[in-house]
Each structure stands twice: as structure tokens, then as C-alpha cells.
Amino acid sequence: MNNNLFIIAGPCVIEDEAITLEIAQELKRISLNLGIEIIFKASYDKANRSSVRSFRGNGMNQGLKILENVKVATGLKLLSDVHETTEVNQAAEVLDVIQIPAFLCRQTDLLLKAAATNKTVNIKKGQFLAPWDMKNVIDKAVNTGNKNVWITERGTTFGYNNLVVDFRSLVIMREWGYPVIFDATHSVQLPGGAGEKSSGQREFVPHLTRAAVACGVDGLFMEVHPEPEKALSDGPNMLYLKDVELLLKEALTINALPKGTYL
């Protein structure tokens, strides 16, 4: 790969093996075409859906098997969420990156268990936290001796059913020396905005992505789907798969510009 910006991308949740492989294969093609590392993301369980009636996934065993098949078919590294300490060891056998969901980012036992695997741990900043509060979260993880920690910004709660991105947080959190990632799709989510499910404003994804890259992030996180309107989770804020390559080209162009220091 010839660029230091990396991408985490994939569907919100594993819907079935066929569509998961379809998305992964297209992301692999984009990765090779643009010379950029793409880590495939899909959740085997969405444990924090708005409604008890919402689709959560195929379960851990089947979901991890599908992710294993993705790795065999594409060679892409894998990322997925863990929600409980009992999941961590089994997930670590398959995943390259273990993700801690935003709502669980202060859960000490979960952080310690995930970091103790010595896998890379991606910690999503809680919507309720200031950026400087993440220093305590990082300290919990690295206390295990594992320094492979990433931090992901995914927006901050702004009133009811809304998020806003404070781009200062990207600069603040980078000062601690760990890679900072910008979640371009969850940042435009409207949590619970559709009653029994979340809504979103997909049209702002490209604008926030370009701004984050200009701020100097290390990576981008984006959930993508061939037909977001038919997706079983987070459709309104997911990016169309067909639009991913063009947006990443724009991101790479911005990332290649010299980063200056201004007073």
C-alpha cells in the first residue's frame, strides 16, 4: 500500500453471507485499485438496537464463520464489535481488530479483556464523552501492556436525536500518540430519530469525511451497503457502495497535501 491513510469499511451488520462477501470483494477491488489498506468491518451482533424487534445479526458463531470466509476469499483484515467479556476470546481467534462500541467505552473489564488479547483494539469514543475524557479510557487498555490502541470519533450527543462533530477532538486525541479514526457514517446518525430505529443524514458523509482528512486523521470508518434503503440496520446513514471509491479518491488527494502548523 502506498498511502498511510487506512479505511475501516463494511456493512453495519452481517445480514447473510452472500451480501457480506459481495461488499467485501468490492472493497478489496477498491483497496487494490487505490493502493489503500481497507479493513473489513461487520457486526455479528448489534446489541444496542433501538427496539427489541430490530434485526441484530446472525449470532456470534455463524457471524464469525462468515467473517472467516471473507478473510479466505479476500485476504482483508477483519474488525467486529464485542459487547461482553465472554465474547472476547472467541472473537479474537478470528478478528484482527477488536472494537469496543461507543456505549461501552468506559467498561473497564471489557477494555482489559480485549486489550489482553494483544490484538489491536479500536475504542469508539462515547457520544457522551469529551475528547479529553478518552485519555482515561486509553490508559485502561494500555495498562495491560498492549499499545495497539486506536480511537474513533463518532460524534457527540447534541440535544435529542442528534449528533454533532467537534473537529477539535481529532486534534486533541491525536496528541496522545495513538491512531485517531473518524467515523464518517455514524457521525451523521440521528439516534432513535425514526421511532423504533435510528435515522440519518447520508448526504453529509462526504463533507465530514473531507474535513476530517484535512484535520489529519489516521483512518476513516464508514459503513457501506449496495442498497442502504434495504439494509437491515443503519440504512439512512450508510454510504452507497458505488460511491465509496470516488470519495476515497477525494480523501487521498486531501491526505497527500502538506500538513502545516499555523499559529
Quick: pLDDT tens for 22-39: 999 999 999 999 999 999
Confidence of residue 54 (pLDDT cuts 50, 70, 90): confident
CB atoms within 10 A of CB 246: 10
- 226-242 pLDDT, tens digit each: 999 999 988 889 999 99
Closest to 43 in 3D by CA, of 2, 102, 118:
102
Confidence of residue 178 (pLDDT cuts 50, 70, 90): very high
- Cα separations in angstroms, 62 against 44, 59, 67, 135: 8, 6, 9, 35
DSSP H helices in 116-167? 134-142
Cell of 156: 457527540
Confidence of residue 199 (pLDDT cuts 50, 70, 90): confident
- Distance between CA 209 and CA 242 in Å, rounded? 16
Residues 194-201, mean pLDDT to the nearest whole number: 75
- 132-150 pLDDT, tens digit each: 999 999 999 999 999 999 9
Full set of structural domains in the chain with CATH: 6-255 (3.20.20.70)
- What pLDDT is stored for residue 58 in this prediction? 86
Query: Which residues, other chains included, contact 133 with Cβ-Cβ below 8 Å and sequence gap of 6+?
Result: none
- Distance between CA 144 and CA 147 in Å, rounded? 8
Least confident residue range of 7-16, 25-34, 186-195, 242-251: 186-195
pLDDT over 80 (residue 108): yes
CB of 127 within 8 A of CB of 102?
A: yes
Residues 61-81, mean pLDDT to the nearest whole number: 98
Least confident residue range of 53-57, 75-79, 164-168: 53-57
- Cα separations in angstroms, 2 against 34, 36, 124, 130: 9, 7, 26, 34
- What pLDDT is stored for residue 261 in this prediction? 56
Confidence of residue 123 (pLDDT cuts 50, 70, 90): very high
The whole model's pTM is what? Answer: 0.94
